[in-house]
Amino acid sequence: MTGVTCVLVGGGTPNYLGSVTVTVDTFSVPNLTRYGSEPPSYGSITPATWADSGLTISGLYYGIITVTSPTVYAVVMRITGYAPNAGWSTLTIAGNAYSRVDASYSYDGTYSSWVWSTTSTNPFGTTIGATKAVVWS
């Protein structure tokens, strides 16, 4: 008797859909102010892992950069490790929706980052200690 047994181990596309809670803090140096969190530097993100991808969320923040004119405002999502620019459609921060296809994406060998250039809407607000829901859908 002959037979073939096929066993699949692992594989598949990681799930990037889920939610976290950001406890808002601020970081400021000359020409740069941020609101949100970049653990462990400031604020916190719970849980720390992005959905069931196994990747750590290293930053969710709104940044104001005044080193250039005009001032640059940006919403930033940063993940430790490689994640493709795919697998989710919308990032919603406290009810403010950001479409993935509108983001600039980068991977520098350490971090995967998505950056939305925005105007003046700070989705995290400026209240230190406030908690904000962040959802990937």
Q: Determine how many CB atoms are found less than 10 A away from the CB of residue 21.
A: 13
- Closer CB to other proteins, 72 or 94, in the complex: 72
Q: Which is nearer to other proteins, 17 or 72 (CB)?
A: 72
Q: How many CA atoms lie within 13 A of 88 on its CB side?
A: 24
In the complex, the smallest distance separating the C-beta of residue 122 from other proteins, rounded to whole angstroms, is: 15
Nearest by Cα to 36 from 92, 82, 90, 77 = 77
- Residue of 124, 126, 72, 80 lying closest to 98 (CA atoms): 124
Please state the closest distance from residue 116 (CB atom) to other proteins, in A. 10
Is 95 or 109 the residue whose CB approaches other proteins more closely?
A: 109
Q: How far is the CB of 1 from other proteins (least distance, A)?
A: 51
Which is nearer to other proteins, 110 or 131 (by Cβ)? 110
CA distances (Å), origin 37, targets 3, 22, 75, 125, 126: 55, 7, 12, 12, 12
User: Shortest Cβ distance from residue 111 to other proteins (Å)?
Assistant: 8
Measured from the CB atom, the residue of 17 and 74 that comes closer to other proteins is: 74
Residues that bind other proteins (CB under 8 A): 27, 29, 31-32, 34, 38, 41-42, 63, 65, 67-68, 72, 74, 76, 85, 101-109, 113, 115, 117
* Amino acid letter for position 129: G
CB 134 → other proteins: shortest distance, Å?
18
**Cα angle value 65/95/24 (rounded, 5°):** 50
